[in-house]
Amino acid sequence: MLENSDGVLYTKKQVPSKLILIVSIVVGFVLVVAFLGIIVNLLFNYNDTKNVFQLKGTTDQLFSLVPHVMSIIIITIFLLVFMVIINTKIKKADPLKKPEGLVLAVILFVSTIDKFAVDMFGEKMKSLAPYIGYLAVYLFSANIFGLLGFTPPPTSNLSVTLSFGISTFLIIRYYGIKFNGWGHLTSLFKPFLLSPINIIGEIAFPFTLSLRLFGNILSGTLIMTLVYTGIAGGFNFILTTIFGSNLGIGELFAPFVGVPFLHIYFDLFSGFIQTFVFILLSSVFISSAAN
Amino acid sequence: MAELGKKIGDLVQGGLFPNLITFFTQILATLILFYFLKKLVWKPVQEMLAKRSEVIVAELESAKAAKFEAEAMKAEYENDLKNAKAEANKMMENARIQALESKTLIIQEAEKEAAYKVEKATKEINLERDKAAKALKAHVVDIAFIAAEKLVHENLDDKKNRQLIDKFIEEVGE
C-alpha cells in the first residue's frame, strides 16, 4: 500500500495496470508462438524438397501445413482478445447511462444482427443470430487480412470456405428437419422426375457458396500479387536503364503507385461485398429451409 | 518471371487443393469463436439491452402513474376551490340576511324602548305635576289658615287688614 500527501490510499492493483497489460501481452504473445512452435514440431516434419511442413506419417498434400493456417490462428487469437476486451467493457458499463465508444459500436452491431436474424428467420430462430454475427466478423476480418501482408487471407483457401459452406449446410438441414420433420426430406422428391435436380441443387449449395467466396478473395490476392510484381519489375527496369545496374529496390515503390486504391477495391470493398453476399445467401437458404 | 510463377503457384496450390489440416483448424476456430462470441459478447449485450429496456419501461410507468396522480390531485383541488367559493358566497349571503334581520330587530327594539321611555317620562311628569298641585293646595290652605289667624288675632280695620294681607303675600312671595 502506498500513501500520498492527501492521505489517499492506492492499492498495488491500481498503480501499474498499464504495465501489467503490456507485460501480459508480450508474455502471452511469446507463449502462444512457443506453444504453436511446439505443436508444429511435435506433429509435423519439414519436407525439404517441397518446402512444406508435412504431418508425420503422411506424404499426401492433404496433410501438409499451408500458411493459411497461420492466418486462421492469428485471426482467432485476435478476435478472442477483442471479445474479452468487449466483455470487460460491457460488464463495466452502466446500463442506465448512454453507451459510448466501443460499447456503443458493439451494441449497434449486435442489435443490427439480431434484427436481421429476426427479419430473416423469425423469432423462433433468434438463437442463430450469433452465428450470423460470427460469419460477419470472421469473414470480414479474414477477407481484409491480406492488407496486413504477412500470410494470405484464410478465405483464399478453399478448405476454409468449404468449412463455412458445410457448417451452413448442416445448419440448413438441422433447422429444416427440426421445423418441417420428414417433410423436409420428402419435399426433394415432390415432382419425382425432378428429384435428381433437386438433390444436386441441395448438395451443390455449400460448394457454390464456398467457391464464390474463395474465387473472389483468391483472385483479389492474385491480382494484387501481379500488380506488386509488375510495378516492382517496371521500376527495376527503369532504374536499370538509368543507372546501368539492377539496384533491386523496385519493390519499395510499389506501395505508392495507385496500389492503395486497388487495395481498397480488392480487399476492403470486395471483402465487404463477399461477406455480405455470403451472409445473405446463407440466411436466405436457412430461412427457406425452415419456413 | 520464375519467381512470380512460383508465388502464384504457391497461392493457388495452397488455396485450391483440399487440405484437411486447414479444414479442421477452421472448424475448430469456428466452434471456439462461435462459443465465445455467444458467451462473451451476445449474452452481456442482450442482458444490458434487456436491463435498459426494463428500466425505461419502469420509468415510463412511474411517470405515467405520477402524471395520473397529479391530475387527480389537480381535479381535487379544483373541486375544493369551487366548493370554497360557493361556500364563501353562501356565507356572505347568510351574513347579509342575518345583518338585515338584526337591523330590523334592533330598530324595533329601539323604537320600543323609546316608546317606553316616552311613556315613563310622561307618567313621571304627570306624577310630579300632581304632587306639585297637591303641595300647592296644601300651601294655599296653610296660607289661608295663617291669613285667617292673623286676621282674627289682630282685629284691625279694613285698611290695616289690606296692608296685612299684602304684607303677608309679599312675605309668602319671597
Q: Do A152 and A146 form a contact (C-beta atoms < 8 A)?
A: yes
Q: Do A90 and B14 touch (CB under 8 A)?
A: no
Q: Do A96 and B52 touch (CB under 8 A)?
A: yes
Flag whether B6 is in a domain: no
Choose among A45, A155, A58, A56: nearest CA to B22: A155
Residues A7 and A141 in one domain: no
Q: Do A131 and B34 form a contact (C-beta atoms < 8 A)?
A: yes
Q: Do A75 and B29 touch (CB under 8 A)?
A: yes
Q: Is the pLDDT of residue A15 over 60?
A: no
The owner of cell 505508392 is A256
Total CB pairs under 8 A between chain A and B: 144
Residues A36 and A160 in one domain: no
Cell of B86: 360557493
Flag whether A93 is in a domain: no
Spell B84-119 as b/e; 16+ CB within 10 A means b: eeeeeeeeeeeeeeeeeeeeeeeeeeeeeeeeeeee
Residues A31 and A122 in one domain: no
Q: Is the pLDDT of residue A9 over 60?
A: no
What gap in Å lies between CA A248 and CA A242, rounded to an integer? 13
> Looking at residue A14, what is its pLDDT?
58
Q: Do A222 and B42 touch (CB under 8 A)?
A: no
Mean pLDDT over A253-257 rounds to 73
What gap in Å lies between CA B75 and CA A65, rounded to an integer? 82
Choose among A172, A277, A132: nearest CA to A217: A277
Flag whether A113 is in a domain: no
Domain containing B59 equals 21-173
Mean pLDDT highest for which of A65-69, A286-290, B130-134, B146-150? Answer: B130-134
For chain B, what is the largest distance between any 2 Cα atoms, rounded to a whole number of angstroms?
Answer: 207
Shortest alpha-carbon distance between residue B54 and chain A (Å): 10
Q: Do B40 and A75 touch (CB under 8 A)?
A: no
- Residues in B whose CB is inside 8 Å of some CB of A read 3-4, 7-8, 11-12, 14-23, 25-27, 29-30, 32-34, 36-38, 40-42, 44-46, 48-49, 51-52, 55
Flag whether A76 is in a domain: no
Number of domains in chain B: 1
Shortest alpha-carbon distance between residue B57 and chain A (Å): 12
Flag whether B7 is in a domain: no
Flag whether B1 is in a domain: no
Q: Do B20 and A137 touch (CB under 8 A)?
A: no
Domain containing A276 equals 118-290
Q: Is the pLDDT of residue A8 over 80?
A: no
Per-residue pLDDT band at B173 (split at 50, 70, 90): low
Q: Is the pLDDT of residue A283 over 60?
A: yes
> Looking at residue B60, what is its pLDDT?
93
Per-residue pLDDT band at A122 (split at 50, 70, 90): confident
Residue among A69, A137, A167 minimizing CB distance to B25: A69
Mean pLDDT over A248-277 rounds to 82
Quick one: DSSP state of residue B17? Answer: S
Q: Do B42 and A111 touch (CB under 8 A)?
A: no
> Looking at residue A1, what is its pLDDT?
45
Per-residue pLDDT band at A48 (split at 50, 70, 90): confident
Flag whether A199 is in a domain: yes
Flag whether B12 is in a domain: no
- Give Rg (Cα) of chain A: 25
Question: How high does pLDDT run on average in chain A?
Answer: 84
Q: Is the pLDDT of residue A244 over 80?
A: no
> Looking at residue B155, what is its pLDDT?
61
Model pLDDT for residues B110-131, shown as the tens digit of each residue: 999 999 999 999 999 999 999 9
Residues A61 and A122 in one domain: no
Residues A32 and A125 in one domain: no
Q: What are phi and psi of B17, to 5 degrees?
A: -75, 135
A260 or A165: which leads in pLDDT: A165
Q: Do B21 and A66 touch (CB under 8 A)?
A: yes
Of the residues A90, A114, A159, the best mutation for testing chain B's interface (the one with the most B CB atoms within 10 Å of its CB) is A159
B22 or A51: which leads in pLDDT: B22
Model pLDDT for residues B52-99, shown as the tens digit of each residue: 889 899 999 999 999 999 999 999 999 999 999 999 999 999 999 999
Q: Do A160 and A154 form a contact (C-beta atoms < 8 A)?
A: yes
Quick one: DSSP state of residue B174? Answer: -
- Of A114-128, A163-177, A180-194, A201-215, give the lowest mean pLDDT range: A180-194
Model pLDDT for residues A76-104, shown as the tens digit of each residue: 999 999 999 899 888 888 777 787 888 88
Of A65, A92, A107, the last residue of a domain is A65
Number of domains in chain A: 2
Mean pLDDT over A268-284 rounds to 91
* pLDDT > 70: percent of chain B: 94
Residue among A90, A137, A156 minimizing CB distance to B45: A90
- Of A53-57, A280-284, B131-135, give the lowest mean pLDDT range: A53-57
Length of chain B in residues, anyone?
A: 174
Residues A238 and A155 in one domain: yes
A236 or B130: which leads in pLDDT: B130
> Looking at residue B62, what is its pLDDT?
94
CB within 8 Å of B36: residues ≥ 6 apart: A80, A83
What gap in Å lies between CA B2 and CA B5, rounded to an integer? 5
Of the residues B22, B27, B31, the best mutation for testing chain A's interface (the one with the most A CB atoms within 10 Å of its CB) is B22
Residues A34 and A176 in one domain: no
